[in-house]
C-alpha cells in the first residue's frame, strides 16, 4: 500500500517496467471497447427527495471500515444532521449515483487506493447494480456476501490483492454482464461455473496465476465480446474452440506459456479489434491468415523469439491498424518492411524493440509518393543499428511524430532532419555506446525540434564535451537526462534559465566547479547531480530566495568538510541526498526543524557527521511514507521519536544508545526496511510489531539488545531477512516465528537462545537459504525436518550444545546437491519514495579456513555446513558425500567416530574440510586425491592411521593439519611409511614455500637465469616485429584472432555462470 504513491517526476525502477507495459498494453487502445461494454453511471436529470437513511448509514458503515484513503475519495461522505447539512444527501457523495427515486444504483470507487475491508453493509443498497472497486488495496478472499448481490450487472474487483481460487458464489451472480477480476492473485484452474454466466459480455481474468490449459467451456461463451486471459500461466496450444468465438472484439492471450504454432483459425475471427499473442513460447512461422483481420486496430506479437517472419505482406491488409507491437520478435529476414509499414495509413504507434533490424539487407525501396507517415510513436531501441539506418528512418518520420526512441543502438549522432520535426516532443537516445560530442548533437537538433522538444533522454551513453550554452535553444524542455556520460567542465549557466525545465539529471559525469548561484532563479524542481566532481558551495546570502526546488541529489560530490548550511535555505524541499559528500562536521541543531512536515526522503549516510537527533519527527510529512538514512556516521545519544509514516529507516553504523521503544511510534503500516545494526542500543525488542506487516528487512545485529523475542513478531508476515547477530537475546525460539513464512535469511547467531532447535523451521520456513544459529545454547539433536529446506545453502549450528548423530538426510539438501535451484536471494531491491532503487545485501560472519570473516555480496556463492563445537556423536553419514556442490564442511570439535566416508572424494567442489578434534579412525580415503579444489584441510587430533594419499593438494598442506594422528605417515609429515625411501631433506609444505623459505641456491639461480632469458627473448621478438613489416602484420592478425577467441570463450562462461 505504501508503495503505490510516487511522485510523477521521479524515475521509475526497471523491475516495474514490464508491469507498466502490461497495463498499458491492456488498456491504452481498449478504452472505447471498455466504455462500449461498460457504460459509466450517470445521474438522472430529476430526482425526488434525498437518499434514504438506511442507504446513507450503509455507506457510512462502508467508510468506517476503510482505514486508508490517500486521495480523500470518501471525504464527502459525512454523517452530518440531515436537516442542517445539504451535502448530507448521499446521492451527491463522491462515487455515488442514484436513480430518480433517490436510491443508490452505482458505487464507483476505482483508482482510490483504498485500504481496509469491504463492509457487508453494501447489502442494504438493494438497488445497487454497478460496483466498481478497481485499483484499490483490498486483500484476502472475496467477501462471501458479494455473492448475495445478485442484482449486480457490473462488478469490477480488478487490481486489488485478492487471492485463492474464484469463490463458487460468483457463479450465482447470473445477471452480471461485466466481470473484472484482473490483477489479483487468483490461482488454479478457471472454475467451471464461469461458463454458466450466460449474460456476460465482458470477462477479464488477466494478471493472475491461473494455470493449465484453457477450459473447453470458455469456447461455449459465444456471447462474449471481451476476453482477457493474459498475464497468467496457461500452457499448451491455443484450443480450436477459441476460433468459434466469432463475436469477440478483444482477445488477450499474451504473457502466458502457450506453445506450438499460432493457429491459422485466429484469422477467421474477423470482428477482432484487439489481439495480443505476445510473450508466449510459440514457434514456427507467423501465419499470413492474420491478414484477414481487417477490423484489427491493435496487434501485439511481442517477444515471440522462437517464431520466424518470412515476409510482412499480410500486414498491409490491416488497413484499420492503429498500434503494432512486434518487439522482441525477429524481423531480420523481412525485406521492404518499411514499405509495408508505410502502407498502413492509420498506424500511429509502432514498437520494434529488439527486432534484429540491423540484419535486414533491404528495409526500404524508394517509392515516389507524396504520402506522409502517420506514425506518432516510434520505438526502435536495442536493434544494434548504426547511423546508416537514418536513410530508411526518414520516410517513417513526419511532423506527426511526437515520440522517437533510438536507445541502445550503435549510433554516432543524429542527422539534421531530426532537428526539423516540428512536432517531436520526446527523444530517447539512451545507451548508445559510440562517442558523441554533446554540442554537435544539440546543434543537429537546433531546428524547430528545439522549440517543441519537452523530454530529452541521453543517459548511459558516451557523450563528451561540455553542457554548453547551446542548451538555451530548447525553450520547451521540461526534463533533461544526461546522467552516466563523460561530460566535463562546468554546467552552463543557461541551464538554469530554461523557462520550463523541471527536472535535471546530470549524475555520474565528470562535471566540476561550484554549484551555480543562478539555481535560485530557475523554475527547476528536481536536481540530480550526484557522482560528479562538484566542489564548493554557493554563498548562503545568494541562496536565500530559493523556493522552487523540491528534491536535490548531490551524493558523492565534494561538499565537505563543513556541513552545507545553505541547504536549509531551500524551504520547499521534500527530498535531500547528501550521502558520501565528505562532510566531517556537527549537524546544525536547527536542521531537524527546517522543513516542518515536508520531507519524505533524507539521506546523509556515509559521512563523518556527529551530533544528536533532537527531533526526528517535525521535518517529515505525517501522512505519506518517508525514508531516513543516517547510516555510517558518528551520531550518538538516544532516538527521541520517529515519524509514524516511515517506510525505510537506516540508522546502522553509528553510536546510538538507549532503548528502541521509538519503534512503537511507527504505526501507519508503511515500514518495509529497518536497520539499526552496529550501534549500542540496549533493552528488549519492543512488543509492538503488529504495525509492521509490510516489513521485509529487519536488521538489529551488533547491539546490546536483551530479553526474549516479542510475541508480536508473528505479525511480520512479509519478512524476508531477520538479522539479530551478536546481541544478548535469550529464551527459546517462540512458535510465533512460524508465521514468518517468507523468510529467506535467518541469522540469530551469537546470542543466548536456548532449548531445542525447532523442527518446524524445516516445515514452515521453507524458503530459507541461510540458517545461522551459531554461538547460542541450543541443546538436543539436530531435527531431521531441516532436510526439507530445499533452498538451504548455509547451515551454521556451530558452538552450541547439540548432541546425537548427524541426520543422514542432510545429504538430500537440494541446493547443495545440484545447480538447478540456484537463486540469488542475497540482494534485496528496495523501493524508495523518491523512486530510486536501493539495495540491501545479506551479510554474515562465517568461519572460513579456520578464521571468522564477514561475507557480503559474495555470500550467494557460499555453500557451507558448519556443525563444529558441539557434542555430536556417531559416524559421519555416507549420505553427506552426495552434496556435490558443497564448498565448506566443518565437523570439528565433536565426538564423531569410525571412518571417514570412502566416497568423500566425490565432493569435488569442496574447498574447505575440517574434521579436526574428533575420534575418527582408519585411514584417509584414497578418493581424497580427487579433491583438486581443496585449499584448507584439517584432520588433526583424531586416531587416523595409514599413508596420506598422494595428490597435489594433500601434500601441500602444513604438517600441523595432520598432527595428533600417531598412525599417519607419508608426505607432508616427517614420518615415513614402511617401504619409503628416506629423503635427504625435510618435506617442503605449501605454507613454507609461500613464506619464502625452503628454496635452495640452485632454485635461485634457476629463477635468475629464467628471468634473463625471458627479457632477452622478449626484446628479440620486439625488434623482429619492428623490422619485418609483413611479419608484424601477420603477428597482430593472429593476436586479434586470439583475442576474439578468448573473449567469446569468457563471455560464454560468464553467461553459463549467470544462468546457474
Instruction: Give the pLDDT of residue 848.
Output: 87
Q: What is the spatial distance between Cα 88 and Cα 758, in angstroms, rounded to a whole number?
A: 58
| CA 243 – CA 873 distance, rounded (Å) | 68
pLDDT value for 603: 95
Q: Using DSSP, state whether 509 is helix, strand or coil.
A: coil
d(CA 737, CA 685): 14
Give the number of C-alpha atoms closer than 13 A to the C-alpha of residue 806, restricted to the C-beta side: 28
CA distance linking residue 392 with residue 397, whole number of Å: 10
Neighbours of 14 (CB within 10 A): 9
Taking alpha carbons only, the member of 442, 446, 441, 392 closest to residue 421 is 446
Beta-carbon contacts of residue 646 (< 8 Å; ≥ 6 apart)? 620, 625, 626, 627, 628, 666, 668, 670, 671
Residue 203 to residue 192: CA distance in whole angstroms: 14
> Are 492 and 511 a contacting pair, CB within 8 Å?
no
Selection from 88, 98, 100, 95 nearest residue 56 by Cα: 88
Residue position matching grid coordinates 603477428: 1035
Which residue in 811, 777, 818 sits closest to 795, CA to CA?
811
- 348-399 confidence digits (pLDDT tens): 999 999 999 999 988 988 776 667 789 999 999 999 999 999 999 999 999 9
**Partner residues linked to 945 by β-bridges:** 967
Output the pLDDT for position 528. 94
Per-residue 3-state assignment (H helix, E strand, C coil) for 308-365: ECCCCHHHHHCCCCCEEECCCCCCCCCCCHHHHHHCCCCCCEEECCCCCHHHCCCCCC
Phi then psi for residue 438, to 5 deg, are: -60, -40
For the segment 702-757, what is each residue's pLDDT rounded down to a tens digit? 999 999 999 999 999 999 999 999 999 999 999 999 999 999 999 999 999 999 99
Q: Which residues have CB under 8 Å from 784's CB, separation 6+? A: 759, 762, 807, 809
Those residues whose C-beta lies under 8 Å from the C-beta of residue 262, and which sit 6 or more positions away, are 238, 277, 282, 284, 286, 287, 290, 307
DSSP 418: G
pLDDT value for 369:
64
In this structure, what are the phi and psi dihedrals at residue 967, rounded to the nearest 5 degrees?
-95, -5
Compute the Cα dihedral for 172, 174, 176, 180 and give only its sign.
positive
Measure Cα distances from 197 to 153, 201, 203 in Å.
Answer: 11, 10, 10
The pLDDT of residue 995? 43
DSSP element (H, E) containing 163: strand 161-164
Task: List the chain residues with pLDDT less than 50.
Answer: 1-32, 34-36, 43-45, 83-84, 820-821, 983-1003, 1005-1006, 1029-1030, 1033, 1036-1038, 1041, 1044-1045, 1047-1048, 1051-1052, 1055-1060
Q: Which of 597, 604, 587 is nearest to 552 (CA)?
A: 604
Which three cell numbers, joined as nine digits, stand for 47? 430526482
Q: Could you give the CA distance from residue 518 to residue 495 in angstroms, rounded to a whole number?
A: 9
The partner residues of 98 in beta bridges, in order of sequence, read 104
List residues bridging with 551 in a β-sheet: 526, 575
Q: How far apart are CA 707 and CA 860, in angstroms?
A: 32
Confidence at residue 990, expressed as pLDDT on a 0 to 100 scale: 42
* Residue 562 to residue 556: CA distance in whole angstroms: 15
CA distance 749 to 798: 9
377 bridge partner residues? 349, 403
Contact yes or no for 240/263 (Cβ under 8 A) = yes
Cβ atoms of 256 and 190 within 8 Å: the answer is: no
Q: Which residues of 515-546 are buried (b: 16+ CB within 10 A; e: fewer)?
A: bbbebbebebbbbbbbbbebeebbeeeebeeb
Burial class of residue 710 (count of CB atoms within 10 Å of its CB; 0-12, 13-18, 19+): middle
- For residue 903, how many other CB atoms are within 10 A of its CB? 14
The CA distance from 938 to 924, in Å, is: 12
Amino acid at each position: 500500500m505504501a508503495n503505490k504513491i510516487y511522485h510523477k517526476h521521479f524515475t521509475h525502477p526497471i523491475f516495474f517496467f514490464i508491469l507498466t507495459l502490461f497495463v498499458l498494453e491492456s488498456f491504452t487502445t481498449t478504452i472505447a471497447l471498455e466504455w462500449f461494454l461498460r457504460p459509466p453511471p450517470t445521474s438522472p436529470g430529476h430526482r425526488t427527495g434525498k437518499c434514504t437513511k438506511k442507504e446513507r448509514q450503509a455507506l457510512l458503515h462502508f467508510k468506517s471500515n476503510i482505514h486508508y484513503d490517500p486521495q480523500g475519495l470518501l471525504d464527502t461522505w459525512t454523517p452530518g444532521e440531515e436537516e442542517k447539512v445539504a451535502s448530507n444527501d448521499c446521492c451527491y457523495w463522491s462515487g455515488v449515483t442514484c436513480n430518480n427515486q433517490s436510491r443508490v444504483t452505482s458505487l464507483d470507487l476505482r483508482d482510490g487506493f483504498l485500504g481496509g475491508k469491504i463492509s457487508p453493509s453494501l447489502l442494504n443498497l438493494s438497488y445497487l447494480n454497478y460496483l466498481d472497486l478497481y485499483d484499490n488495496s483490498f486483500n484476502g478472499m472475496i467477501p462471501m456476501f458479494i455473492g448475495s448481490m445478485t442484482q449486480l450487472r457490473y462488478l469490477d474487483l480488478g487490481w486489488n490483492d485478492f487471492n485463492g481460487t474464484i469463490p463458487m458464489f460468483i457463479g450465482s451472480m447470473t445477471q452480471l454482464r461485466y466481470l473484472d477480476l484482473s490483477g489479483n492473485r487468483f490461482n488454479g484452474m478457471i472454475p467451471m461455473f464461469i461458463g454458466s454466466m450466460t449474460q456476460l459480455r465482458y470477462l477479464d481474468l488477466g494478471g493472475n496465476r491461473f494455470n493449465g490449459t484453457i477450459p473447453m467451456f470458455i469456447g461455449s461463451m459465444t456471447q462474449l465480446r471481451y476476453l482477457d486471459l493474459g498475464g497468467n500461466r496457461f500452457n499448451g496450444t491455443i484450443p480450436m474452440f477459441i476460433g468459434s468465438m466469432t463475436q469477440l472484439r478483444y482477445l488477450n492471450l499474451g504473457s502466458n506459456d502457450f506453445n506450438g504454432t499460432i493457429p491459422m483459425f485466429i484469422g477467421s475471427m474477423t470482428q477482432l479489434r484487439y489481439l495480443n499473442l505476445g510473450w508466449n513460447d510459440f514457434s514456427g512461422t507467423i501465419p499470413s491468415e492474420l491478414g484477414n483481420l481487417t477490423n484489427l486496430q491493435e496487434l501485439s506479437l511481442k517477444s515471440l523469439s522462437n517464431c520466424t517472419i518470412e515476409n510482412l505482406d499480410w500486414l498491409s491488409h490491416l488497413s484499420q491498424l492503429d498500434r503494432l507491437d512486434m518487439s522482441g520478435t525477429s524481423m531480420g529476414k523481412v525485406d521492404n518492411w518499411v514499405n509495408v509499414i508505410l502502407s498502413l495509413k492509420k498506424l500511429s504507434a509502432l514498437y520494434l524493440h529488439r527486432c534484429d533490424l540491423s540484419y535486414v539487407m533491404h528495409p526500404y525501396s524508394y517509392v515516389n509518393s507524396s504520402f506522409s507517415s502517420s506514425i506518432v510513436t516510434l520505438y526502435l531501441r536495442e536493434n544494434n543499428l548504426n547511423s546508416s539506418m537514418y536513410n530508411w528512418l526518414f520516410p517513417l518520420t513526419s511532423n506527426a511524430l511526437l515520440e522517437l526512441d533510438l536507445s541502445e543502438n550503435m549510433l554516432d549522432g543524429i542527422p539534421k532532419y531530426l532537428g526539423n520535426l516540428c512536432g517531436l516532443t520526446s527523444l530517447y537516445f539512451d545507451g548508445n555506446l559510440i562517442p558523441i560530442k554533446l554540442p554537435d548533437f544539440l546543434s543537429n537538433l537546433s531546428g524547430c525540434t528545439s522549440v517543441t522538444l519537452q523530454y530529452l533522454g541521453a543517459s548511459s551513453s558516451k557523450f563528451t564535451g561540455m553542457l554548453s550554452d547551446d542548451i538555451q535553444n530548447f525553450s520547451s524542455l521540461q526534463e533533461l537526462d544526461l546522467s552516466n556520460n563523460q561530460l566535463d567542465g562546468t554546467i552552463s549557466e543557461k541551464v538554469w534559465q530554461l523557462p520550463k525545465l523541471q527536472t535535471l539529471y546530470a549524475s555520474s559525469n565528470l562535471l566540476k566547479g561550484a554549484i551555480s548561484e543562478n539555481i535560485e532563479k530557475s523554475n527547476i524542481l528536481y536536481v540530480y547531480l550526484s557522482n560528479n566532481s562538484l566542489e564548493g558551495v554557493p554563498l548562503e546570502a545568494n541562496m536565500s530566495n530559493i523556493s522552487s526546488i523540491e528534491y536535490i541529489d548531490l551524493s558523492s560530490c565534494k561538499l565537505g568538510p563543513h556541513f552545507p548550511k545553505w541547504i536549509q535555505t531551500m524551504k520547499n524541499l521534500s527530498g535531500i541526498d547528501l550521502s558520501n559528500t565528505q562532510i566531517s562536521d556537527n549537524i546544525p541543531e536547527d536542521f531537524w526543524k527546517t522543513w516542518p512536515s515536508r520531507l519524505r526522503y533524507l539521506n546523509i549516510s556515509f559521512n563523518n557527521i556527529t551530533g544528536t537527533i533532537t527531533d526526528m519527527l517535525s521535518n517529515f510529512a505525517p501522512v505519506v511514507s518517508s525514508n531516513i538514512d543516517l547510516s555510517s556516521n558518528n551520531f550518538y545519544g538516544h532516538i527521541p521519536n520517529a515519524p509514524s509514516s516511515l517506510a525505510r529507516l537506516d540508522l546502522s553504523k553509528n553510536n546510538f544508545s538507549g532503548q528502541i521503544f521509538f519503534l512503537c511510534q511507527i504505526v501507519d503500516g508503511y515500514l518495509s526496511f529497518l536497520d539499526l545494526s552496529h550501534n549500542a542500543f540496549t533493552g528488549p525488542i519492543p512488543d509492538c510489531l503488529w504495525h509492521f506487516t509490510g516489513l521485509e528487512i529487519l536488521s538489529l545485529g551488533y547491539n546490546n539488545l536483551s530479553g526474549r523475542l516479542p510475541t508480536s513478531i508473528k505479525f511480520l508476515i512479509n519478512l524476508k531477512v531477520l538479522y539479530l547477530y551478536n546481541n544478548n537475546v535469550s529464551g527459546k525460539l517462540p512458535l510465533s516465528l512460524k508465521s514468518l513464512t517468507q523468510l529467506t535469511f535467518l541469522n540469530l547467531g551469537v546470542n543466548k537462545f536456548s532449548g531445542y532447535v525447532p523442527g518446524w523451521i524445516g516445515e514452515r520456513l521453507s524458503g530459507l537459504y541461510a540458517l545461522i544459529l551459531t554461538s547460542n545454547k541450543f541443546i538436543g539433536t539436530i531435527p531431521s525436518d531441516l532436510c526439507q529446506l530445499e533452498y538451504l545453502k548455509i547451515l551454521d549450528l556451530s558452538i552450541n550444545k547439540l548432541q546425537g548423530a548427524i541426520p543422514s538426510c542432510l545429504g538430500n539438501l537440494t541446493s547443495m546437491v545440484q545447480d538447478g535451484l540456484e537463486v540469488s536471494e542475497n540482494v534485496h531491491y528496495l523501493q524508495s519514495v523518491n523512486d530510486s532503487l536501493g539495495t540491501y545485501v545479506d551479510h554474515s560472519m562465517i568461519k572460513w579456513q579456520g578464521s571468522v570473516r564477514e561475507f557480503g555480496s559474495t555470500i550467494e556463492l557460499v555453500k557451507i555446513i558448519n556443525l563444529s563445537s558441539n557434542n555430536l556423536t556417531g559416524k559421519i553419514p555416507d549420505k553427506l558425500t552426495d552434496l556435490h556442490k558443497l564448498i565448506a564442511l566443518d565437523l570439528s570439535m565433536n565426538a564423531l567416530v569410525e571412518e571417514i566416508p570412502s566416497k568423500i572424494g566425490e565432493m569435488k567442489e569442496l574447498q574447505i574440510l575440517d574434521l579436526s578434534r574428533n575420534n575418527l579412525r582408519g585411514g584417509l580415503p584414497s578418493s581424497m586425491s580427487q579433491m583438486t579444489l581443496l585449499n584448507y584441510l584439517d584432520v588433526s587430533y583424531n586416531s587416523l592411521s595409514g599413508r596420506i594419499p598422494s595428490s597435489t593438494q594433500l601434500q601441500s598442506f602444513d604438517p600441523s593439519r595432520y598432527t595428533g594422528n600417531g598412525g599417519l605417515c607419508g608426505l607432508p609429515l616427517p614420518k615415513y611409511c614402511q617401504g619409503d625411501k628416506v629423503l635427504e631433506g625435510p618435506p617442503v609444505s605449501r605454507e613454507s614455500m609461500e613464506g619464502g623459505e625452503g628454496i635452495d641456491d640452485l632454485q635461485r639461480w634457476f629463477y635468475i637465469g629464467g628471468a634473463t632469458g625471458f627479457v632477452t627473448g622478449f626484446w628479440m621478438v620486439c625488434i623482429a616485429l619492428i623490422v619485418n613489416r609483413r611479419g608484424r602484420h601477420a603477428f597482430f592478425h593472429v593476436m586479434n584472432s586470439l583475442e576474439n577467441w578468448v573473449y567469446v570463450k569468457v563471455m560464454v562462461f560468464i553467461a553459463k555462470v549467470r544462468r546457474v
